[in-house]
C-alpha cells in the first residue's frame, strides 16, 4: 500500500521542491538527482516485493474497490516502474551537463519530475478514468518540456505534437465514457469480468476501437505517428531522451494492458488491424529513418519502427509473443534513451547533429565510438546484446503463429536498422571531418564528462548485462506475460477473492 | 432526450472534424473546444439521463428511496472540463507564440522543424 503511493509521492514531491528551489540552481539540481535516485530506490523495492509476493493493490481514500481509485502493480507494471526509475536517474544526471541555465530557470527539473509522475501513475493505476488523468499529467508536462525555451523550431514541433495528442486523448475519454455507460464500472479488474458479460458486441467493439485509436496515436503506430518525427528532435537532448524512452512506451503499455485485461483476443478485426499496423509501423519507421541526415531525426524514426515489434508481439497474442513484447519494451527503453544521450555528446563535441557537417569522432574520441556501438548494435539486434534476444523471441513467436510475412518484415527491418546505425557510425565517427579547420576544438571539461558520460556508461552496462545474462530478464517477462494472459491474480489482488 | 443529445454530439463532432481538417491552427482550437464538449456530453448521456432526481439520501437512510441521477459521470465530466480548459489555454498560448515566431497559423506552412527536402520544393 505505502509502496504504491510512495512511487507517486516521490516524483510529485520532487517536482514541488525543485519548483520551490528555483532561485538556487545548485540546490535545484541536487534535489532533482536525489528525487530521481529515490524514485529508483522505491521502484526497486516495489519490484522486489511484486516478484516475491505477486500483484500488489491499494485503494485510495478508504473506498473499497471497485468504487475507490485503485493502484495496482503486477509484474509488468512493476518492471515498467523500475525501468522508469533507471531512466529518471540517467536523464537527471545527464541534465546536469546538458541543460542550459535558462531552461533550468524556466522549470526543466519541475516539468521532468511532473512527467515522471504522469508516467509512473499511468503504469500503476488500476482505474481507466484515472489512466486518462495520468495521461493528461504526462501530456501537459511533456508540452512544457517540449516548448521550453520557445525556439521557433520547437514551437513548430510542439504545435503538431500537442494537436495530435489532444485528439487522441479525446478519443480515449469518449471510449472510457461509453465503456462506463455499458458496464457501470471504471475499475480495470472489474471491467475484466464486466466486459465479458456484456452481450452487446457493438458497444464492446466501439469502445475497443476508440481506445485502440487513442493508444495507437500515443505509441506512434502507423499511420498515426506523424507527431513524433515532427517534434522529438527539437528540444534539449535530455528531454528528447526521456521522451524517446518513456512516452511512446506508455502508449504500448496501455495497449497491452487494455487488450489483455479488459478485452480478450476475440475481436478479429482489432487483431488484424494491430497485425497490419505493426508490420507497416516497422517498415515505414525504418524507411523514414533511411531518408534522414540528422542524428536525432534518424533515431526518432527508429522509435516508430521499434514500436512495431512490440505491437507485433501483442497482436500475435500467443504466450511467447506477449513475452517477446514485454522483453522488447524493457530492452528498448534503455537502448533508445542511451542512443539519444550519445547523440547529445556528439552534438556537444562537434557542434552539430547534421551528419554532413560532422565527422572524425573516431580519431578525436574513440571511447564515444564504443559507447555508441553498444546501444546501436543492440538496436539492430546483433548478438549477444539485448536487442538480439528481444528480436529472436518476437520473430520466433511470429513463425510459430505462421505469420511468415511479418517475420520476414521483422528480419528485413533489423537489417535496415543496421544500415541506419552504420550510416551514423560512418558519417559521424569514421569519415574525416569535412572541414578540418573548423573541427571541434572543444573537449568536455571534467564536470561535464562525469554528468554526460556516467549515464551513458551505466545504460550501456545494463544493455550488455541484459544481453549476456538474459535468463532472469526473460524469466521476469515470462511471469509478467502469464499474469497478463491469466489475470486471476490481478483481479483477486484488486477485488479480493470472489466465489 | 437521449436522441437529442446523440444528434447534438454528432453535429458537434462533425463541425470539429471539419474545422480540424482545414489545417488552420486557430480553427483547430475551436474544433478542440467543440470536440471536448461533445465527449463530455457522451459521458453525460452514458450515465443515464434522469429528470430532477438529485442523488441525495434521506436522513437516517442508507440508500436513496427512489431512482436518482448518477453523480459519477458528473464528477468525471467536471474533471474532464478542468483538464480540457487547462489544455485549451495552453494550446491557445502555444498557437499565439507560434504565430509570433513563425508568422503563420497554417499547419502546412510550418516547416521549420521538418524543412522540405530539395525534391519537395519542385512541387
**B72, B97, B111: residue with CB nearest A155:** B97
Nearest 5°: phi and psi at A404? -65, -35
On chain B, the residues whose CB falls within 8 A of the CB of A181 are: 43, 45-48
The answer to whether the CB atoms of A177 and B90 lie below 8 A apart is: no
On chain A, the residues whose CB falls within 8 A of the CB of B90 are: 140, 143, 162
CA distances from A412 to A152, A249, A397 (A): 37, 23, 16
Residues A157 and B111: their CA atoms lie apart, in Å, by 9
- Residue partners of A282: CB distance under 8 A and separation at least 6: A305, A306, A308, A309, A312, A409, A410, A413
Q: For residue A245, what pLDDT is reported?
A: 93
On chain B, the residues whose CB falls within 8 A of the CB of A156 are: 98, 102, 110-113
Element housing A58 (H / E): strand A56-59
CA dihedral B2, B3, B8, B13 (to 10 degrees): 90
Place of cell 528480436: A391
Does B52 score more than 80 pLDDT? no
String of b and e for A89-116 (b: at least 16 CB within 10 Å)?
bbbbbbbbbbbeeebbebbbbbbbbbbb
String of b and e for A412-443 (b: at least 16 CB within 10 Å)?
ebbebbbebbebbbebbbeeebeeeeebbeee
Pick the residue of A166, A230, A301 with the most B CBs within 10 A to test the interface with B by mutation: A166
Nearest to A234 by CA among A152, A347, A339, A333: A152
On chain A, the residues whose CB falls within 8 A of the CB of B72 are: 180
Count of helix runs (H) and strand runs (E) in chain B: 4, 0
How many Cβ pairs within 8 Å bridge chains A and B?
A: 99
Place of cell 474545422: B19
Q: For residue A132, what pLDDT is reported?
A: 94
Nearest 5°: phi and psi at B92? -60, -50
**B46, B48, B102: residue with CB nearest A155:** B102
CB B41 within 8 A of CB B77: no
CB A239 within 8 A of CB A343: no
Element housing A131 (H / E): helix A128-147
Q: Record the cell numbers describing residue B83, joined without a space.
A: 483538464
- The secondary structure of residue A354, as a DSSP letter, is B
Q: How many CB atoms lie within 10 A of CB A182?
A: 19
CA distances from A375 to A171, A293, A300, A332, A333 (A): 35, 19, 15, 9, 11
Element housing A73 (H / E): strand A70-73
How far is the alpha carbon of A37 from chain B, nearest alpha carbon, in Å? 30
Residues A299 and A338: their CA atoms lie apart, in Å, by 11
Nearest to A308 by CA among A232, A393, A386, A219: A219
On chain B, the residues whose CB falls within 8 A of the CB of A136 are: 83, 87
Element housing B116 (H / E): none
- The secondary structure of residue A435, as a DSSP letter, is S
- Residue partners of A452: CB distance under 8 A and separation at least 6: A94, A97, A98, A341, A344, A345, A348, A444
3-state SS, residue A3: helix
The DSSP secondary structure of A460-492, one letter per residue, reads: HHHHHHHHHTHHHHHHHHHHHHHHHHSTHHHHH
CB A184 within 8 A of CB A194: yes
**A129, A156, A181: residue with CB nearest B102:** A156
Q: How many CA atoms lie within 13 A of A261 on its CB side?
A: 29
Residue range B60-80: mean pLDDT, rounded: 85
Q: Record the cell numbers describing residue A196, joined without a space.
A: 465479458
Nearest to A76 by CA among A52, A53, A50, A41: A50
3-state SS, residue A59: strand
Q: For residue B122, what pLDDT is reported?
A: 38
Residues A398 and A316: their CA atoms lie apart, in Å, by 7
Q: For residue A264, what pLDDT is reported?
A: 79
Q: Is residue A146 packed enough to be buried (19+ CB in 10 Å), middle (13-18) or exposed (0-12)?
A: buried
The region of weakest confidence among A66-75, A409-418, B74-83, B113-122 is B113-122
Residues A347 and A349: their CA atoms lie apart, in Å, by 6
- Residue partners of A128: CB distance under 8 A and separation at least 6: A176, A179, A180, A186, A187, A188, A191, A262
CB A193 within 8 A of CB B76: no
Predicted TM-score of the model (pTM): 0.93
Does B120 score more than 70 pLDDT? no
Angle in degrees, 0-180, between the axes of helices A188-197 and A152-183, rounded to the nearest 10: 50
Q: Is residue A197 packed enough to be buried (19+ CB in 10 Å), middle (13-18) or exposed (0-12)?
A: exposed
Residue range B68-85: mean pLDDT, rounded: 89
The answer to whether the CB atoms of A152 and B107 lie below 8 A apart is: no
The answer to whether the CB atoms of A159 and B20 lie below 8 A apart is: no
Q: For residue A217, what pLDDT is reported?
A: 94
**B48, B72, B112: residue with CB nearest A156:** B112
String of b and e for A327-352 (b: at least 16 CB within 10 Å)?
bbbbbbbbbbbbbbbbbbbbbbbbee
**A140, A150, A234: residue with CB nearest B86:** A140
Alpha helices in A198-318 (DSSP H): 201-218, 227-231, 237-242, 248-257, 268-290, 295-316
On chain A, the residues whose CB falls within 8 A of the CB of B46 are: 177-178, 180-182
Place of cell 479488459: A262
Residue range B80-86: mean pLDDT, rounded: 92
Tens-digit pLDDT profile for chain A (499 aa)? 688 899 999 999 999 999 999 888 889 999 999 999 999 999 999 999 999 988 888 888 778 878 888 999 999 999 999 999 999 999 999 999 888 888 888 889 999 999 999 999 999 999 999 999 999 999 999 999 999 888 888 898 999 999 999 999 999 999 999 999 899 889 998 898 888 888 888 888 999 999 999 999 999 998 899 999 989 988 999 999 999 999 999 999 999 999 999 987 678 888 999 999 999 999 999 999 988 888 899 999 999 999 999 999 999 988 999 999 999 999 999 999 999 999 998 888 888 888 888 888 888 888 888 899 999 999 988 888 888 999 999 999 999 988 899 999 999 999 999 999 998 888 888 888 777 655 555 667 878 888 888 999 999 999 999 989 988 999 999 999 998 888 888 888 888 765 4
Place of cell 501530456: A139
Amino acid at each position: 500500500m505505502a509502496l504504491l503511493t510512495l512511487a507517486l509521492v516521490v516524483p510529485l514531491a520532487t517536482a514541488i521542491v525543485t519548483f520551490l528551489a528555483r532561485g538556487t540552481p545548485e540546490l535545484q539540481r541536487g534535489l532533482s538527482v536525489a528525487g530521481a535516485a529515490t524514485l529508483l530506490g522505491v521502484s526497486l523495492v516495489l519490484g522486489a516485493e511484486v516478484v516475491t509476493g505477486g500483484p500488489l493493490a491499494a485503494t485510495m481514500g478508504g473506498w473499497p474497490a471497485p468504487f475507490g481509485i485503485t493502484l495496482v502493480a503486477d509484474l509488468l507494471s512493476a518492471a515498467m516502474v523500475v525501468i522508469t526509475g533507471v531512466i529518471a536517474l540517467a536523464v537527471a544526471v545527464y541534465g546536469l551537463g546538458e541543460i542550459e541555465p535558462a531552461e533550468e530557470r524556466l522549470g526543466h527539473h519541475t516539468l521532468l519530475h511532473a512527467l515522471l509522475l504522469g508516467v509512473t501513475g499511468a503504469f500503476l493505476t488500476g482505474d481507466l478514468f484515472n489512466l486518462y488523468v495520468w495521461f493528461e499529467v504526462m501530456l501537459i508536462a511533456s508540452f512544457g518540456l517540449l516548448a521550453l525555451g520557445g525556439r521557433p523550431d520547437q514551437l513548430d514541433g510542439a504545435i503538431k505534437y500537442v494537436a495530435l495528442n489532444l485528439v487522441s486523448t479525446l478519443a480515449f475519454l469518449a471510449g472510457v465514457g461509453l465503456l462506463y455507460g455499458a458496464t457501470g464500472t471504471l475499475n480495470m479488474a472489474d471491467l475484466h469480468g464486466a466486459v465479458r458479460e456484456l452481450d452487446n458486441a457493438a458497444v464492446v467493439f466501439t469502445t475497443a476501437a476508440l481506445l485502440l485509436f487513442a493508444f495507437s496515436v500515443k505509441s506512434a503506430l502507423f499511420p498515426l505517428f506523424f507527431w513524433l518525427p515532427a517534434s522529438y528532435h527539437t528540444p534539449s537532448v535530455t528531454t528528447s531522451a526521456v521522451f524517446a524512452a518513456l512516452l511512446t512506451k506508455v502508449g504500448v503499455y496501455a495497449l497491452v494492458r487494455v487488450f489483455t485485461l479488459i478485452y480478450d483476443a476475440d475481436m478479429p478485426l482489432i487483431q488484424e488491424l494491430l497485425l497490419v499496423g505493426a508490420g507497416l509501423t516497422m517498415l515505414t519507421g525504418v524507411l523514414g529513418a533511411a531518408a534522414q541526415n540528422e542524428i536525432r531525426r534518424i533515431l526518432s524514426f527508429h522509435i516508430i519502427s521499434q514500436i512495431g515489434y512490440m505491437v507485433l508481439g501483442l497482436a500475435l497474442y500467443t504466450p511467447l509473443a506477449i513475452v517477446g513484447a514485454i522483453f522488447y519494451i524493457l530492452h528498448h527503453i534503455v537502448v533508445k534513451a542511451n542512443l539519444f544521450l550519445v547523440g547529445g555528446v556528439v552534438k556537444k563535441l562537434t557542434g552539430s547533429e547534421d551528419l554532413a557537417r560532422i565527422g572524425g569522432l573516431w580519431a578525436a574520441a574513440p571511447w564515444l565510438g564504443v559507447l555508441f556501438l553498444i546501444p546501436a548494435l543492440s538496436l539492430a539486434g546483433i548478438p549477444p546484446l539485448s536487442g538480439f534476444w528481444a528480436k529472436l523471441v518476437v520473430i520466433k513467436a511470429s513463425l510459430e503463429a505462421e505469420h511468415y510475412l511479418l517475420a520476414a518484415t521483422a528480419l528485413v527491418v533489423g537489417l535496415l536498422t543496421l544500415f541506419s546505425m552504420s550510416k551514423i557510425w560512418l558519417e559521424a565517427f569514421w569519415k574525416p571531418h569535412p572541414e578540418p579547420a573548423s573541427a571541434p576544438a572543444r573537449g568536455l571539461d571534467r564536470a561535464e564528462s562525469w554528468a554526460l558520460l556516467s549515464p551513458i556508461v551505466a545504460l550501456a552496462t545494463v544493455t550488455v548485462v541484459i544481453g549476456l545474462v538474459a535468463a532472469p530478464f526473460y524469466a521476469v517477462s515470462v511471469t509478467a506475460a502469464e499474469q497478463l494472459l491469466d489475470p486471476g491474480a490481478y483481479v483477486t489482488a484488486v477485488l479480493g477473492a470472489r466465489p | 432526450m437521449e436522441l437529442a443529445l446523440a444528434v447534438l454530439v454528432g453535429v458537434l463532432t462533425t463541425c470539429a472534424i471539419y474545422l480540424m481538417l482545414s489545417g488552420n491552427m486557430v480553427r483547430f482550437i475551436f474544433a478542440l473546444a467543440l470536440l471536448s464538449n461533445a465527449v463530455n456530453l457522451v459521458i453525460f448521456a452514458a450515465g443515464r439521463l434522469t429528470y430532477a432526481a438529485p442523488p441525495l439520501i434521506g436522513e437516517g437512510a442508507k440508500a436513496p428511496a427512489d431512482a436518482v441521477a448518477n453523480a459519477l459521470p458528473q464528477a468525471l465530466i467536471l474533471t474532464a472540463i478542468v483538464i480540457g480548459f487547462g489544455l485549451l489555454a495552453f494550446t491557445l498560448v502555444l498557437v499565439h507564440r507560434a504565430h509570433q515566431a513563425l508568422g503563420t497559423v497554417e499547419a502546412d506552412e510550418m516547416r521549420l522543424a521538418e524543412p522540405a527536402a530539395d525534391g519537395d520544393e519542385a512541387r
